[in-house]
Amino acid sequence: MARICSFCGRRPNSANSRSKSNIATKRRQKPNLQKLKVGHLTVLTCTRCRRSMNKTEKVKVAA
């Protein structure tokens, strides 16, 4: 699977890694993806989307 969130589309970001002499080299910042079962499918979601889903589920249960 690609390192992309299935819900919001977050993908790896490129950033600079700075050494002591301030030389910049490229590095990747990967999103924090977790496997989540939705029905019978297993999808990759970022933790932000996962938290949002948990909040909406709690609202549905409370209502």
- Residue 5 belongs to some domain of the structure: no
CA distances from 53 to 24, 25, 29 (A): 38, 36, 24
Domain count, the chain: 1
Rounded CA-CA distance 35/37 in Å is 7
Amino acid at 20: K
For tokens 């209502």, the residue is 63
Q: What is the pTM of this model?
A: 0.72
For residue 18, the SS3 value is strand
What tens digit of pLDDT does each residue of 24-43 get? 999 999 999 999 998 899 99
End-to-end CA distance of the chain: 36
- Residue 26 belongs to some domain of the structure: yes
Q: In the predicted model, is pLDDT for residue 18 greater than 90?
A: yes
- Residue 2 belongs to some domain of the structure: no
- Residue 6 belongs to some domain of the structure: no
35 lies in which domain range? Answer: 13-62
